[in-house]
Structures are given as structure tokens and as C-alpha cells.
């Protein structure tokens, strides 16, 4: 993927005006697993074009796993229009879409996570009504678990560190590791932490390792919290 030069802080200055969704994307597009998923998606698209007709490959429908409402995004690019874990209204968050149970559908609107109300659609002309009732029970259980997850996401987001300069530092840390995988922590600390003039190898190792762990957490899961953080 095209990356800025991690040694040049000015290469990251454009992020000062980035939206929360763009910040989230900048972390996700550096995730090696997402990059692999994108490559599988592109391969599936090419295969589908060469041999049209169902069934579609799973890679064509898996973008929701990363928090997207829509298709995968090319990790080689920055994007401005990102359909990504949106807020529906104040205090209400749309959860990541999950596969629905066959035979049961929502009616009219999304579930109300405040009151717990939901309208489900059944078909009484189908002979197998028992399977529909079982599917409805599974769907209600899933919604209950999702409501708990929603509350947890909002609570975590309110505590999320969202200092832009720290986020830039984490992105530069990731980019440094990609450019030179074996780059010594002392050199990374010298460039990214210039205020510390000691460059003690043990202190440098500790500082770099802590930042690497934080960056890894952001690119793997905490990027999903950024759109909720109220940056």
C-alpha cells in the first residue's frame, strides 16, 4: 500500500482535518489481515467476472466483518466517503450487520435498543411454522446480546484516547515497521521521540514496544471505537 514517509511528520499533517471515519480507516487499512481480505476480495471479483452466475464467493459479502456498510475499500488509498459504522441518531448506534436467521425479518424499522421493542415478520402460509418460531427465538437472543455489546461499545468509546498527535505517532510507528521490519527500537525512538535525548537502548525498547502494542490494538479492533469517541 502507498504509505507516507514515517520519518516526516509533515506527511501526516493532512490528518488534522480528517473525520473520525477517516481516522478509523487509516488504522484499519494498515491491518495485514484486512489487506489479505482485500486481496481475496479482488481475486473473487475477477473469478466472478470470468465465470458469471451464483454462487458468489464469501469474500464478496464479508466487508461487514470489518465494520463497513457496503463493499471493501482499497487499502492502498485514503478515502473520504466511508460507509463505516455510522451513527443513526444521538444515543443510538447501528451495530455491525450480522447474518439474519432464515424465515424471520424485521418489519418497518430497526430494533429499538432503548425499549427493547422489535417487530418481526412471519409467514403463516408456510407449513413449517415451528422453524420460524425457533428462528425468531434465535433472533431475539441475538438482539439481546447485541444490546449488551452496544452498551459496551459506547462505554469504551467514551474512555478512548483520541489525541490526534498520539494517533499520528501510532500510524508512524506502524509505517516504520513495514518499511524496515528489523529496524532497531533505538532508531525509531530517536525519530519519533526526539524530546528524549538519552536514547537509552532499554528505555527506547520499552517505549517503542508499548507504542507498538497500542498501535496493534488500534489496527485490529479499537479503530471501530473512533467514530463513537466524540473526537
**At 172, is the secondary structure helix, strand, or coil?**
helix
Residue 230 and residue 35 in contact, taking contact as beta carbons nearer than 8 Å? no
What is the average per-residue pLDDT within 8-23? 90
**At 143, is the secondary structure helix, strand, or coil?**
helix
Tens-digit pLDDT profile for residues 119-157:
888 888 877 788 888 888 888 887 788 777 766 666 665
Tens-digit pLDDT profile for residues 110-125:
567 677 788 888 888 8
Residues 6 or more apart from 46 whose CB is under 8 A from it? Answer: none
Every domain of the chain and the residues it spans: 87-159
Tally of CB atoms within 10 A around 115: 7
Amino acid at each position: 500500500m502507498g504509505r507516507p514517509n514515517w520519518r516526516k511528520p509533515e506527511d501526516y499533517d493532512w490528518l488534522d482535518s480528517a473525520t473520525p471515519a477517516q481516522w478509523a480507516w487509516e488504522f484499519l487499512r494498515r491491518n495485514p489481515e484486512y489487506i489479505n481480505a482485500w486481496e481475496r476480495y479482488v481475486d473473487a471479483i475477477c473469478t466472478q467476472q470470468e465465470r458469471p452466475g451464483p454462487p458468489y464467493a464469501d469474500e464478496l459479502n464479508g466487508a461487514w466483518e470489518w465494520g463497513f456498510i457496503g463493499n471493501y475499500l482499497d487499502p492502498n488509498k485514503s478515502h473520504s466517503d466511508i460507509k463505516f459504522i455510522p451513527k443513526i441518531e444521538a444515543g443510538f448506534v447501528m451495530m455491525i450487520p450480522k447474518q439474519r436467521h432464515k424465515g424471520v425479518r424485521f418489519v418497518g424499522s430497526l430494533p429499538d435498543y432503548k425499549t427493547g421493542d422489535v417487530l418481526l415478520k412471519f409467514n403463516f402460509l408456510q407449513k413449517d411454522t415451528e422453524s420460524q418460531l425457533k428462528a425468531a427465538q434465535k433472533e431475539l437472543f441475538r438482539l439481546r446480546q447485541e444490546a449488551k455489546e452496544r452498551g459496551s461499545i459506547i462505554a469504551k468509546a467514551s474512555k478512548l484516547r483520541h489525541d490526534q498527535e498520539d494517533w499520528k505517532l501510532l500510524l508512524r510507528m506502524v509505517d516504520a515497521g513495514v518499511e524496515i521490519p528489523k529496524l532497531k527500537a533505538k532508531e525509531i525512538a530517536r525519530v519519533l521521540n526526539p524530546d528524549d535525548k538519552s536514547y537509552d537502548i532499554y528505555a527506547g525498547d520499552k517505549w517503542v514496544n508499548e507504542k507498538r502494542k497500542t498501535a496493534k490494538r488500534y489496527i485490529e479492533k479499537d479503530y471501530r471505537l473512533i467514530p463513537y469517541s466524540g473526537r
